[in-house]
Structure 1
Amino acid sequence: MDLDERKRQVLKVLISDYITTAEPVGSRTIAKRYGLGISSATIRNEMADLEDMGYLEQPHTSAGRIPSDKGYRVYVDHLMNAQKLTKEEIDLIQNSIYKAALGEIDKIIKETSKVLSILTNYTTLVTSPQAKKSSVKHIQLIAVDSMNVVVIVVTNFGTVKNSMVKLSQPITSEKLATINNILNDKLKGLTIEEINLNIISDVQRNVVGYNEIFNEIIPILCESLNIIDDGDIYLEGSSNIFNYPEYNAIDKAKAFLSVLDKKDFLYKLLSSEDENTKIFIGHENEHIEIKDCSLITTTYKIGDNVVGSIGIIGPTRMYYSKVLAILQCFRSYLNDALTSYYNDK
């Protein structure tokens, strides 16, 4: 970073002030409020240098400065102070998640999204656990009679799918048990997205003598796996954007709200499986629809497996340190709650 200590101080307090007030910040304001030990004229010169270097912008002649995307990036990476949550905030997070965990998985995720929106005052997105990341826990073939078999697939996420297979020839309970054992031996522990044509071909090579019946069962098994979908995405706080003066212009607000109606687009925003929390500021976003926003994303896990994503969208003038503290706390409690939930299941 090409900034000396004085420029770092000026940039830090200017961005902190702008995040709080949403008003361009002048040298006199910094001199009066922050006691940097330097004159207003010196601060003004430092601000001019920071503008020339691309860290600040001047929206109007003779007005104060505001941070650029580049300025926010330096602030987030090097200047801002880590923030601690209050006991009340931590209790709210913990209680909301564990209370929801007494219900169904969708209730946990929906409650997570709602409380995140309340605590951050931004728009929140949370994907439900992606079923294709789940693994096969058990396959059970049950004979209704000699010509009809029920195929049951159970995943480690607790998802259960069953389908009926009508055979072209009768099958004995011994043959059905053999095929059942082979399927479990070869497929148990594999994620749904790992069960491809090569895996199925390998299973076929192990059912010599049962090929005809197996060939009737396997399409139904594959269909059962394929209909386990990728879940849903929960959106909360879309109207929070109206709390920020950056979106007072109705056209800008409408454009933002229209983006939130596009489910496929929202999935793209949260498509990363990187376990690290990521911050995309303004034009760092690859999607033009949110070039005026900041997006903070992270993931959550069941056990050691990343199964879903969390996103916070707001103006570039975001309380980054507070949001990061909230996300870190939320992710920790959510991981514990979901892991316990599925272990119980």
Structure 2
Amino acid sequence: MFLDERKKKILQSIIDDYISTAEPVGSRTVARKHELGLSSATIRNEMADLEEMGYLTQPHTSAGRIPSDKGYRFYVDQLMKQSELTVDEICSIKTAMDTKINELSQLLKQVSLVMSKITKYTSMAAIPERKNSVLKAVQVVPVEKGKALVVVITNSGTIKNSLISISESILPEYLISVSNIFNEKLSGLTIEQINMPVIREIELLMGPSQEVLMPILNGVTDCIEQIDSTEVFLEGAINMLNYPEFSNVERAREFLKLMVEKDLISRVLKDVNAEKDEIVIKIGHENDIEEMKECSLVTTTYTAGNVVIGTIGIIGPTRMEYSKVLAAVNFMKNKMKDHVEKLIGKDLSGT
């Protein structure tokens, strides 16, 4: 059935009220607060129609109505007013982003933190699997006798390190020259391209002291394996306990348990990659994961060139303040674009 303008206004009024109060909304409240020029009886009849059409539900016989997932979907797609961030919120984002950041994972973690603070919901961020990461630099740093740190930097701005054991007779000066050799021969290569001919070239350049070669190569491999796995960041899970939907101890426990499942969060965010550069909203039962069917999820990806370099999601109750979340995600998306380009360049298509 088609929704006429009167039904749309009533539905919008109910959802706006329910988002702000978490209390079922009755016809008298709509008549009193929203000046629609309609009597309570007329509004009550329209609400009954909206319920029959699946846009509203009635939790108790004598109570007012609350939105259904279908109602929220119609609201988000057609009724919701656009929101803007406050000056203080914009300043807090800019301050957070102006912090000196030299690695992609640091940037995503910072973004996740500030988004949780602004929206007052839970934020999730992930750096997807980086298959075939290209090495930008390799450094071997002496730590103490018999120990060195292999540091690998990729062209995507990721930095990883691995502690290795080496002969106690190896001098720090020698490790500096070894770093130069590894940098010269490995920069620009993927882990798959570090083959025997490349290793032989490094052997020749290293000369007689080759016992450190394999430990360093193992350290480089360990760093690459860390880079190639998905990194997940979670902030503000405790925020959800502030909402009446999660006042039930069992419900709160289930949500917090879900939030520590990093593999599950990674899967949720990975599903967004197909919608590159779009903001995706999944409401209630639109979520594939059973434990999230009473939550809403707003997600987007950040790209450099044609490559997805990160995904962020905001999760909250279905009674989420959608306009506020979308304003925050949109603003952060634009800020992230500039920061990502400064950090790792505009085009990663060569990776």
- Determine the structure 2 residue equivalent to 1:63: 63
Q: Distance in 1 between matches of 2:45 and 2:343?
A: 58
Matched, 1:77 2:77: yes
- State the SS of the aligned residue for 1:20: helix
Q: Distance in 2 between matches of 1:318 and 1:162?
A: 40
Q: Cα 1:241–1:212, aligned 2, differ >3 Å: closer, same or farther?
A: closer
- Determine the structure 2 residue equivalent to 1:18: 18
Q: Cα 1:110–1:154, aligned 2, differ >3 Å: closer, same or farther?
A: closer
Alignment size in residue pairs? 301
* Aligned-partner residue type, residue 23 of structure 2: E
Q: Distance in 2 between matches of 1:91 and 1:212?
A: 50
> For the aligned residues, what is the CA RMSD?
3.4
TM-score normalised by length of structure 2:
0.75
Once the two structures are TM-superposed, the CA of residue 239 in structure 1 deviates from its matched residue by 0.9
- Determine the structure 1 residue equivalent to 2:244: 245
Asked if 1 retains the 8 angstrom alpha-carbon contact of 2:133 and 2:227, the reply is no
- Determine the structure 2 residue equivalent to 1:320: 322
Q: Cα 1:318–1:70, aligned 2, differ >3 Å: closer, same or farther?
A: same
1:280-308 residue CA offsets vs partner (Å, 9 max, x unmatched): 11111100011111111111123442111
Q: Distance in 1 between matches of 2:161 and 2:108?
A: 25
Matched, 1:290 2:292: yes
Asked if 2 retains the 8 angstrom alpha-carbon contact of 1:134 and 1:156, the reply is no
Q: Distance in 1 between matches of 2:288 and 2:249?
A: 24
Q: Cα 1:262–1:160, aligned 2, differ >3 Å: closer, same or farther?
A: closer
- Determine the structure 2 residue equivalent to 1:130: 128
- State the SS of the aligned residue for 1:270: helix
Greater mean deviation of Cα atoms: 335-344 or 84-93: 335-344
* Aligned-partner residue type, residue 308 of structure 2: V
* Unpaired stretches in structure 2, ≥5 consecutive residues: 139-149, 165-180, 204-212, 347-351
* Unpaired stretches in structure 1, ≥5 consecutive residues: 141-150, 165-176
Once the two structures are TM-superposed, the CA of residue 226 in structure 1 deviates from its matched residue by 4.4
- State the SS of the aligned residue for 2:228: coil
- State the SS of the aligned residue for 2:98: helix
Asked if 2 retains the 8 angstrom alpha-carbon contact of 1:117 and 1:123, the reply is yes
Q: Distance in 1 between matches of 2:294 and 2:33?
A: 29
Asked if 2 retains the 8 angstrom alpha-carbon contact of 1:116 and 1:124, the reply is yes
Q: Distance in 2 between matches of 1:41 and 1:110?
A: 51
Once the two structures are TM-superposed, the CA of residue 59 in structure 1 deviates from its matched residue by 0.3
Identity of aligned residues (%): 47
- Determine the structure 2 residue equivalent to 1:263: 262
1:126-153 residue CA offsets vs partner (Å, 9 max, x unmatched): 11x335167526699xxxxxxxxxx998
TM-score normalised by length of structure 1:
0.76
Q: Cα 1:139–1:118, aligned 2, differ >3 Å: closer, same or farther?
A: closer
Q: Cα 1:133–1:61, aligned 2, differ >3 Å: closer, same or farther?
A: same
Once the two structures are TM-superposed, the CA of residue 91 in structure 1 deviates from its matched residue by 1.8
Asked if 1 retains the 8 angstrom alpha-carbon contact of 2:108 and 2:310, the reply is no
- State the SS of the aligned residue for 1:228: helix
